[in-house]
Chains A and B, each alone.
Chain A
């Protein structure tokens, strides 16, 4: 039991770790390989489109596959393959294919890990477990950014992607440590709602959750959140480059890594709070912080203070990182469509983020950084209002016996 959960911890750590390499760094790498701006843009667009297109199918695939562990293993191997392909074969078609493969694999990997967690601990302990997942993922992100900074600076972009590919191995080892199919575990923890044991994809009643108002509102909230959030760091980092002189790379590194530590600190608390107070208050905290961050970034020009403001991002990331899989689990209880639904939310999040970088980038070019931060803060305020007004509590009503405000150990209502 303990060994399995430890395995899940490390799985989150290493997966976050090797996913970091596929971020903005890939354009640094391709630039160094002599690629033109146009070609880099095309490859990245291909990746973005593939990521959007594969969110829902990826989630549905994980739902359909009985063994979530096998699904996760296949996705990890695919990500390793694309990292190696990028490292060893920097020509247009291989890189574009690797980006697309990575997008498909990622769309299955995240949901597979969430489904594994659910199968391991059941709905009662899911909040706490997801908090732990988010903690280890944040630590993995921070570690990877640091490592890649060193590797990229002292060695080459090449080395970064070889490292990324190699990090798949410990991820697979961690997956191995989780052990045999979790659904075969002691019945007391899983029995109430093992996702695969439900009526298999009968196209009838079990898809009703798609019309669930809670799901649609949550998707809208998440999309608006990302619309306001995704471009803040890049634009802030651009301003740091302009203002911080020689210290700029270090300041930007701090802006990236700092929030991850906050997320690592706060996530487990967010998971516990969601179990005792409910999902809504925690979600609201994560949303409220965003307009504040936007307004502060608009008003404060000192790059070193920007690091402190960016720490607020850690709070939002913790709240959303834990609440998203938790709320979706609440909504899809006993439907067997948990990961399909996660894919749907992923699509909303991805759409918001893509639109954000484009729109806010244009704003920043036209009217400057402050104006674009203020407009993002405005969008964030709308998102917060939407959560406050429209988003219902999804925590299932407690079963009659235990006191309602404690994390519960027995069956749900």
Chain B
């Protein structure tokens, strides 16, 4: 069985990501942005102080995290297309209530064993033969808030000559047993070599998919 990460799943990430979102996410989102109307009133009030985006402030931001759309907008605003949450955060929070509804008065906390979760940024993806293909440097989400592709930094020597390649999320296999967190890839090295380079979220993205699906890339806007 392939553990798939859904929108409710939390990733933990290095603080670099948090900071980027914090620094640029707040400033880049105009107060009239429609996504803000979907946040709870409490959050809207705090927005001016930047509190909405304090991801390391786990309990208060749960609402934001549980709304993949909101997290996504924030992530795009910060030019980091990755929904980030931190720490031992709830992994499978229930879908949030109707938009704009009052948040629950008593915040719930879920405790998840550390080996049920995996931080994936910077983790090497290995091929079926165990060969290192490169680290995951970004995750692309679709409009439904589902991870659509992982961007890996493929090849190169000492950082010279690496190519960023977007690969289909479904082609990744996560093995979290016995502390050996491994991300394996169903796609051959040849296919990665031939793939066009990922050029950032502003350009159409070609996602390398499993060979049996019969296509080499989805419609360009799928990952936006």
Contact = CB atoms under 8 A, between A and B. Distances in A.
B159 A37 contact: no
Interface stretch (A20-28, A197-205, A262-270, A341-349): A20-28
Interface stretch (B58-66, B91-99, B149-157, B171-179): B149-157
A149 interface: yes
B17 interface: yes
B135 A31 contact: yes
Given A241-B155, A245-B193, A36 B160 contact: no
B13 A34 contact: yes
A248 B17 contact: no
A253 interface: yes
Interface string B114-130: 00000101100000000
Contacts of B162: 28, 238, 241
A118 to B, nearest CB: 33
Main secondary structure of the interface of A (DSSP, over half): helix
Contact of B160 (A32, A39, A40, A237): A237
Contact of B157 (A27, A30, A237): A237
Nearest to A233: B160
Contacts of A237: 156-157, 160-161
A200 to B, nearest CB: 44
Query: Which of B17, B157, B199 has the largest count of A CB atoms less than 10 A from its CB?
Result: B157
Highest count of chain B CB atoms <10 Å: which of A28, A31, A236, A252: A31
B157 A37 contact: no
A212 interface: no
B82 interface: yes
A35 interface: yes
A36 B121 contact: yes
B17 to A, nearest CB: 4
A240 B161 contact: yes
B143 interface: no
Interface string A137-155: 0000000010011001000
A34 B119 contact: yes
Contacts of B199: 365
B159 A24 contact: yes
A211 interface: no
A404 interface: no
Interface residues of A, number: 43
A92 interface: yes
A145 B160 CA distance: 11
A118 B194 CA distance: 52
Interface string A246-287: 101110110010000000000000000000000000000000
A148 B137 contact: no
Given A33-B122, A34-B13, A34-B119, A39 B20 contact: yes
B163 A28 contact: no
B157 A256 contact: yes
Contacts of B197: 238, 365
B89 interface: no
Contacts of B159: 23-28
A34 B122 contact: yes
Interface in A217-253: 233-234, 236-238, 240-243, 245-246, 248-250, 252-253
B16 interface: yes
Interface residues of B, number: 36
A106 to B, nearest CB: 18
A31 B79 CA distance: 17
Contacts of B16: 30, 33-36, 38-40, 91-92
Given A32-B135, A34-B119, A92-B16, A252 B189 contact: no
A393 interface: no
B122 A35 contact: yes
A243 B78 CA distance: 34
B137 A31 contact: yes
B3 to A, nearest CB: 20
B191 interface: no
Interface in B39-74: none
Contacts of B189: 245-246
A248 B161 contact: yes
Residue in B80, B159, B197 with the greatest tally of chain A CB atoms within 10 Å: B159
B37 interface: no
B158 A92 contact: no
A241 B134 CA distance: 12
A39 B19 CA distance: 8
B158 A152 contact: yes
B91 to A, nearest CB: 18
A42 interface: yes
A244 to B, nearest CB: 9
Nearest to B132: A153
A44 B151 CA distance: 20
Nearest to B134: A31
Contact of A242 (B19, B137, B163): B163
Given A37-B151, A38-B17, A152-B158, 10 more contacts: A32-B122, A36-B17, A36-B137, A38-B80, A92-B19, A148-B158, A149-B157, A241-B154, A245-B193, A248-B157
15 contacts: A23-B159, A24-B160, A32-B122, A32-B135, A37-B137, A39-B19, A42-B20, A91-B16, A92-B15, A234-B160, A241-B154, A241-B162, A253-B158, A256-B160, A365-B199
Q: Which 6 A-B pairs have the closest CB atoms?
A: A237-B161, A34-B14, A39-B16, A24-B159, A241-B155, A252-B157
Interface of B: 13-17, 19-20, 24, 78-80, 82, 119, 121-122, 135, 137-138, 151, 153-163, 189-190, 193-194, 197, 199
